[in-house]
Amino acid sequence: MKQNAYAQAGVDINLGNKVKSTLPRLLSATHRPEVLGKVGGFGGLFALDTRKYRHPVLVSSVDGVGTKLKLAFAMDRHDTIGQDLVNHCVNDIAVLGAEPLFFLDYLGTGKLEPRVFREIIQGFAKACAENGCALIGGETAQMPGFYKPGEYDVSGTIVGVVEKTAMLDGRGIKPGDAVIGLASSGLHTNGYSLARKIFFEKLRLRPSSRVAGIENSIGDELLKVHVSYGPLVQKLIKKFNPNSLRSSRAARVIKGIAHITGGGFVDNIPRVLPSDCDVVIRKGSWDSSPLFEMIRNRGGVQEAELYRVFNMGVGMTLIVAGDQADRVLRFVAAQGTKAWIVGEVVQGKGRVAIR
């Protein structure tokens, strides 16, 4: 059969349709009863059950994976990228106490490679299922000449819901509250432009290189999946803020949460602070992974910048009532997540100091 003109120009519609035909099976694990319609429609349909809420507030976020994609290209491993994206988006709305409802993805590439497409979508589906989030739609764009051969970009949009009076907005935070840090799996999805420069240009390593003290190759360590804290946050709220519909914000145990992404501690924690409170983060109060120690010792980056570019081993911070911090720590540990008291709230002007 003669190839049509569009395919000759680099866009194979038939191949796209063939690859997408596997989506219903891949997405079945993410199904929620509120999902209507079928995969492949012009719009994803989700019937929110408003009877479960007094004043439901929809919470949305959109993000990408950044230059972590360069590692996936170099190692020809694409099974973790979808998980990274979903988990990052889940964390961004979890800080408000929101439950994720549904997720939509965008994949742009020069030439659609079925294996790569399948691995990415499998990652989306795996993470959505783990977070109880429906994958209800997306877009795959073939744009020949726009991307380098073998490269692509992904982004995603998530929508969740939270009860208005139960929303975590930081307004009950006061001096004396404690800051708990939840362990990250590594860099998550931020700081990769600098990390790649340090490891692959300054230190002249390869993704396959192995370094003393690090169990995996550098490439595998950098590709570790971004942790989702969403399910843990929901458990924390249920355990420690059970009467949030009736109690004042000042009476809550869990008062504010920050996702430590781009901007690190310095730019993210102030998002939840009242204007009259500061947070002091105590360096050395948590276990830092060998990867971050290597960046610190051999990267040639000023100490202050490290805590603004990287999460330094803490992927999320919880601001909790000071007299309940030990209880929260024990509960988090029982859920299988490492955590530490990494700082405290003091009188101030809405800033973060790292000492």
pLDDT, one tens digit per residue, over 164-200 is 999 999 989 999 999 999 999 999 999 999 999 999 9
Task: Over range 334-345, report the average pLDDT.
Answer: 98
d(CA 209, CA 199) in angstroms, rounded, equals 10
Residue 224: which of 125, 95, 315 has the closest Cα?
Answer: 315
**Which of left, alpha, beta for 280 (phi over 0: left; psi -120 to 50: alpha)?**
beta
Helix, strand, coil % in the chain, rounded to nearest 5? 40, 25, 40
Residue with tokens 């990287």: 310
Residue 42 tokens, joined: 């012009």
Q: Where are the domains of the chain?
A: 5-166, 178-354
Predicted confidence band at 282 (pLDDT cuts at 50, 70, 90)?
Answer: very high
pTM over 0.75: yes
* Predicted local confidence at residue 146, as pLDDT: 93
Q: Hey, what CATH class is 178-354 in?
A: alpha beta
d(CA 108, CA 284) in angstroms, rounded, equals 41
pLDDT digits (tens, 9 = 90+) for 286-303: 998 899 999 999 999 999
* Predicted local confidence at residue 194, as pLDDT: 96
Please write down the HEC assignment for all residues of 57-107. Answer: EEEEEEEECCCHHHHHHHHCCCCCHHHHHHHHHHHHHHCCCCEEEEEEEEE
% of the chain at pLDDT higher than 90: 80
Residue 75: which of 218, 227, 189 has the closest Cα?
Answer: 218
* Predicted local confidence at residue 30, as pLDDT: 83
pLDDT digits (tens, 9 = 90+) for 39-68: 767 888 999 999 999 999 999 999 999 999
* Predicted local confidence at residue 138, as pLDDT: 87
Q: Select 5-166's CATH number: 3.30.1330.10, 3.90.1200.10, 3.30.420.40, 3.40.190.170.
A: 3.30.1330.10
Asked if 54 and 146 touch (Cβ cutoff 8 Å), the reply is no
pLDDT digits (tens, 9 = 90+) for 191-226: 999 999 999 999 999 999 999 889 899 999 999 999
Please write down the HEC assignment for all residues of 229-280. Answer: CHHHHHHHHHHHCCCCCCCCHHHCCEEEEEECCCCHHHHHHHHHCCCCEEEE
Predicted confidence band at 322 (pLDDT cuts at 50, 70, 90)?
Answer: very high
Task: Over range 295-317, report the average pLDDT.
Answer: 94
* Predicted local confidence at residue 3, as pLDDT: 61
Predicted confidence band at 106 (pLDDT cuts at 50, 70, 90)?
Answer: very high
* C-beta contacts of 205-212 below 8 A and 24+ residues apart: 207/71, 207/74, 207/75, 211/290, 211/294
Asked if 97 and 130 touch (Cβ cutoff 8 Å), the reply is no
Residue with tokens 């999320």: 316
Asked if 131 and 76 touch (Cβ cutoff 8 Å), the reply is no
* Predicted local confidence at residue 302, as pLDDT: 92
> In which order are the strands placed within the sheet that holds 352-354?
254-259, 314-320, 178-183, 339-347, 277-281, 352-354
Q: Tell me the CA distances in angstroms from 265 to 96, 116, 190, 238, 298, one per residue in order.
A: 17, 34, 12, 26, 21
**36-45, 69-78, 105-114, 296-305, range with the lowest pLDDT:** 36-45
